[in-house]
Amino acid sequence: MSLGNRIQALTHRIDSYQQHRRWLAFPVAVWRKLSDDQVGNLAALLTFYAFVSLFPLLLLLITVLGFALHRDPALQQWVLNSALADFPVIGGELRGDIHAVGRGPAGLVVGLIGSVLGARGLADAAQNVLNRLWTVPYNRRPGFPWSWLRSYGFIATVGVGMAATSLVTDLAAGAGSAPLGIAVRVGALLLALVIGTLTYWLALRLAIAGQVPGRQLWTGALLGALGWQILQAVGGYYITHQLRHASALYGAFGLVLGLIAWLYLQARVTLYAVAVDVVRSRRLWPRSLFPPPATAGDRRAWDAAMAAQDRSPTEAEAVPESRPPVDADPVPTSRPPAA
């Protein structure tokens, strides 16, 4: 047997081994799903729009706090610190670099316009990316004005959910080390996980077309919220390490690179969680590592990818078939009887 035949036989043996073991076939199918959809490019797209929308949102937040809490600077600073707690290490730098635009209504208007335009770009990109992962056909995705309403609902849900999660986490961090304090911290972390799961589910429900049932989104919501909490706990080390080297090489641009790295990690975690949900709910496993031959999971994935490219109007939106004009004085088909 030649070397090429031996390598081919070995690869088919490995492929057959993983296909017949669910604990191995499922993660392989998720990896194939991520590879087919080029999840790295999708995460980069979300990172770009998140980066563009972040500073206008912070500008709006600081300006509103300056108006609403001008009599209580301590409370204003506490709210701002809670909002920036989702960015470990970088949050302190952002707090020092972003300032309110003026003290009049002009700053509020500038911040509002910038945040709406930037955040809607992020929400629109999230709709496109998540519907692509779920292989929702183009003709089944929400159009104007429903897509805009979903985008603004997505922005509000993510903003309120992040604020609530940060608030609960901040309260947990202030608990003592006594047994009661430990119990409070554990309870607060569980509450933050519940809030995060509900936030993820509602955000996914708003971003993904109604063709996907809401009950199929719970696994991705739970995994996304869990990944968010893990990143909050251990992501600080990565950002600190990344920021140290980036700052040494690029100076002030190190903050930008660290922020982009953090947003990219968040996007990857979210897309991984959604991909797990897609593979689980649509039974896209086992997948072949070296086709042919193709498995049933391969065929289901390929059929869904082909159907997702359909841009023809649906039956409800189809243009009615044109009919010939009705003659006002139609010609009789037979002559009247003679008198």
The pLDDT, as a whole number, for residue 235 is 65
- The Cα–Cα gap between 207 and 188 comes to 28
Q: Each residue of 96-127: pLDDT tens digit?
A: 555 554 455 665 676 667 667 767 888 999 99
The most confident of the ranges 156-160, 241-245, 270-274, 299-303 is 270-274
Positive or negative torsion for Cα 64, 67, 72, 73: positive
Q: Which amino acid is at 148?
A: W
Q: What angle do CA 236, 94, 78 make, to 5 degrees?
A: 85
- The Cα–Cα gap between 76 and 63 comes to 11
The pLDDT, as a whole number, for residue 332 is 46
Q: Which amino acid is at 131?
A: N
- The Cα–Cα gap between 11 and 164 comes to 50
Query: Which tokens in the block code for residue 164?
Result: 């609530």
Residue 338 clears pLDDT 80, i.e. is over it: no
pTM score of the predicted model: 0.77
